[in-house]
A = this chain, B = another copy of it.
Amino acid sequence: MMVLISYDVSTIDKLGRTRLRKVAKECQNHGQRVQNSVFEADLDYSSFLKLKNRLLKIIDPEKDSLRFYYLGNNWGKRIEHIGIKQTYNPEGTIIV
């Protein structure tokens, strides 16, 4: 299933900047960066839950936020990109 993951991590202190790096790295390991803090991950449910749990352990829920958008299987029709960075074929690029 395709999941869009977006995050806001507070970077006003060093701990926040560390969390930001960790969140970004975790998302990069399992999805495709499409914008600065927006990733798309095409994962089976089990892999997605593992990723989600890892992200939950990294963020500070009182300072940061995560949003997951479950785009389903017909996700190709749901996405439109304009401007820099090409759309992509996730099957070809995702590291699971």
Chain A residues with CB under 8 Å of chain B are 4, 6-8, 34-38, 56, 59-72, 77-85
- Min distance, Cβ A47 to any Cβ of chain B, angstroms: 16
- Min distance, Cβ A50 to any Cβ of chain B, angstroms: 15
A79 with B61: in contact, given A8-B36, A38-B38 (CB under 8 Å)? no
Q: Is the CB of A83 within 8 A of B70?
A: no
Interface of A is mostly: strand
Q: Is the CB of B37 within 8 A of A66?
A: no
Q: Is the CB of A65 within 8 A of B80?
A: no
A84 with B65: in contact, given A7-B35, A8-B35 (CB under 8 Å)? yes
Specify which of B61, B66, B78 is in contact with A72 (CB 8 Å cutoff): B78
